[in-house]
Chain A
Amino acid sequence: MVEQDKGCHLPITRRELLLASASSAMVATTAVDAAASSTRPASPRPGVPTAQVTLAVNGKPHTLTLDTRTTLLDALREHLQLTGTKKGCDHGQCGACTVIVDGRRINSCLTLAAMHPGAKVTTIEGLGTPGHLHPLQAAFVKHDGYQCGYCTPGQICSAAGMLDEVRQGIPSHVTGDLAAKPLLSIDELRERMSGNICRCGAYSNIVEAITEVANGGVA
């Protein structure tokens, strides 16, 4: 918790720092593409088909006019500057882009923003804040459920959705009796989280973090 509070008081965020260093690097080499380095929402290029969509992201409504090709992931990151959600493989294989849409965890890279008019989207920024961590966020910190941290927002959003699925009695591939209400054993947890890859291999600590929250009954 102490470390989280420290992070909260940093004068600039990591992304702002990275953008600043990227801009200065470009100045040093070639001309700067103002649009590319800007943190303002990207406008669709003239002549490209667009679609309008209103999304409620972390409780706040946003109406966006987007190039139809914009995935939900790119809408969150590039248009709403919610960069907690990560782009890993961009093909639904790694789970880094997992967000919760209308109560369900999905891969935000494999769906178009335009397919979700009126949807309620929860990202890692909406689950908790540095001062008020979601129990899963606190448990990942406590159990060191990451190394580089890139997969972590997806792991945490996925775990939140997964625990909800268990509460709803949704079975999994390793559920022994389809007629019974599933319980969250280690085998169940591993199977249900198989859509989230951690290249650092922090799996054992991720399992411990999620297990603690599951046993505490809050997520």
Chain B
Amino acid sequence: MKPFTFERARTPAEAAAAVAKQPGARFIAGGTNLLDLMKLQIETPPHLVDVNALGLDKIEPTSDGGLRIGALVRNTDLAADARVRRDYAVLSRALLAGASGQLRNKATTAGNLLQRTRCPYFYDTHQACNKRQPGSGCSAVGGYSRQLAVIGASPACIATHPSDMAVAMRVLDASVETVHADGRTRVIPIADFHKLPEGTPQIETGLEPGELITAVTLPKPVGGVHVYRKVRDRASYAFALVSVAAIVQKDGSGRVALGGVAAKPWRDESAEAEMPRGAKAVTDKLLAGAQPTGENAFKLPLAERALAAALSQARAAA
């Protein structure tokens, strides 16, 4: 790890100001991803602002019947919350499908949204990576790409977003609340939160320097059967090859988002009109325009079959 200075912030605005005033400074909450990357010198922040004492660790009902999840709510607590288990089960399921018990005890809601890709070329500092070092190229293109993106990628980057939680947040139409250094706040729909790589894969979200996530809000429950299916190389503690978050209503309508296929949770509301016609009709539309590599073309039929399994699971549970 490169040396860094360290401070503990007392208020969200103070934390935002502390990061905004020093180029390269970073917030640290759970630290489970950032410290891993700092040890490998993929991240080299000169200053860390510890946000753990900001009190953003509550899950509260909103005035419109939804739920406001503090940025620092740990993955374990969010997955175990009785309201989440009852009304937003797809979120509980997605969280529990990710990481290990130890990591979920530390990892936070906001940190999970901000975690970096596990593309092997991003992790290997001897390789070209436009995300890690803009302009250096992309060794993943033409390289080992089995785990990487099949849609929404660019010649500059074919990394995927690694989060399970974010896929559930996308299917639930969550919103991300933030605060700036000057105290201004804003609300970003989850659909707009993560950016596709295009020519600037180092820009992963629309957050401005020093902008701090304070909460993630869920709209009021939509009912239906909630399913999260994750397909991976081992039964536990592995990132998704493909995952499916689905909410299925009694009449067969519903919502679907995919994980493991793109740089952001992959959802297309217009494809959801095909839900009553079955998995193939949905994924044909949802993954139209996919450009897989030879090594990851298997993800297209895998996504269709994972969705078919999710729909079958939902019918059995209805």
Binding site for B on A (CB under 8 A): 48-49, 51, 67-69, 71, 90-92, 95, 98, 104-107, 110-112, 114-115, 117, 158, 161-162, 165, 168-173, 175, 178-179, 190-196
Contact = CB atoms under 8 A, between A and B. Distances in A.
A109 to B, nearest CB: 8
B226 to A, nearest CB: 9
Given A110-B31, A112-B31, A170-B76, A68 B3 contact: yes
Interface string B211-226: 0000000000000000
A169 B236 CA distance: 20
16 contacts: A48-B3, A91-B36, A110-B31, A112-B35, A115-B28, A158-B101, A158-B102, A165-B76, A170-B76, A173-B96, A173-B97, A175-B96, A178-B93, A194-B100, A194-B237, A195-B101
B35 A190 contact: no
A215 to B, nearest CB: 20
Given A106-B105, A178-B92, A194-B101, 12 more contacts: A68-B4, A92-B103, A104-B105, A110-B32, A114-B50, A172-B96, A173-B93, A173-B236, A178-B93, A192-B101, A195-B100, A195-B103
Interface in B74-119: 76, 79-80, 85-86, 89, 92-93, 96-97, 99-103, 105-106
Interface of A is mostly: loop
Contact of A170 (B8, B79, B237): B79
B6 interface: yes
B97 A106 contact: no
Nearest to A158: B102
B159 interface: no
B139 interface: no
B205 interface: no
Contact of B100 (A48, A95, A104, A171): A95
Contacts of A98: 102
A106 B236 contact: no
B300 interface: no
A165 B101 CA distance: 9
A158 B99 CA distance: 14
Interface in B162-182: none
Given A110-B36, A194-B236, A95 B102 contact: yes
B52 interface: yes
Given A68-B4, A110-B32, A179-B85, A92 B80 contact: no
Interface in B1-50: 1, 3-6, 8, 28, 30-32, 35-36, 39, 48, 50
A107 B28 contact: no
Nearest to B96: A173
Contacts of B28: 112, 115
Contact of A92 (B32, B48, B89, B236): B32
Interface of B: 1, 3-6, 8, 28, 30-32, 35-36, 39, 48, 50, 52, 76, 79-80, 85-86, 89, 92-93, 96-97, 99-103, 105-106, 235-237
Contacts of A158: 101-102
Given A158-B101, A171-B79, A114 B6 contact: yes
Contacts of B93: 173, 178
B101 A162 contact: yes
A92 B5 contact: no
Given A48-B3, A98-B102, A105-B102, A111 B35 contact: yes
A106 B102 contact: yes
Nearest 3 Cβ contacts at the A-B interface: A195-B100, A194-B236, A68-B6
A48 B28 CA distance: 20
B105 A171 contact: no
B52 A115 contact: yes
Q: A71, A90, A195: which has the most chain B beta carbons within 10 Å?
A: A195
A107 B104 CA distance: 10
Contacts of A173: 93, 96-97, 236
Contact of A49 (B6, B30, B85, B103): B6
Contact of A110 (B6, B48, B96, B106): B106
